[in-house]
Amino acid sequence: MKKEDLSRNFGFLISDVARLMRKNFDSRVKEIGLTRSQWWLLNHLFRADGITQAELAETLEIERSSTGKLLDSLELKGWIKRVVDKKDRRSKRVFLTKEVEPIIKKMRGIAKKVREVSLGKLSSQQDDFVDILIEIKNNLTKDNGK
């Protein structure tokens, strides 16, 4: 079998860029005392505050029990609150609290810096690049591998 040059493979490049951005962000948020699990969850809540605990576990691609433990620790810090869903009392919705707002503000500033570093000279093309990524995401969401 002929060996494929993966240095320009689209899937590998997307994966590598995402991994490197996470690593860069990880090293920067350590200054404010956040682990990857914490910042990942807080970012997802920032994007979709009030989603259910089950939806959060699915989005983060981690077990519900692991999500529950992580939420327990963030709740102890006063950063999130869980509220019983009005439509389904078996479900809990997760919300960010006012206490976490300074942390979120710092994280968003760090995220901006990571984007600036990542894009470098390409920053003027960010909107076009984001549009392309949205189209790719929409294509994959429609197809779903079936």
Query: Rounded mean pLDDT of the chain?
Result: 93
Q: Which domains does the chain have, with CATH numbers?
A: 10-143 (1.10.10.10)
pTM above 0.95, yes or no: no
Quote the pLDDT of residue 146: 66
Total residue length of the chain: 146
Q: Is 54 exposed, middle or buried (0-12, 13-18, 19+ CB in 10 A)?
A: middle
- In this structure, which amino acid lies at residue 142? K
Q: Which two tokens stand for residue 108?
A: 């968003």
Rounded Cα distance, 66 and 98, in Å: 24
Q: What is the mean pLDDT of residues 62-72?
A: 95
Q: Render pLDDT for 14-62 as a digit per residue (tens, 0 to 9).
A: 999 999 999 999 999 999 999 999 999 999 999 999 999 999 999 999 9
Rounded Cα distance, 70 and 66, in Å: 6
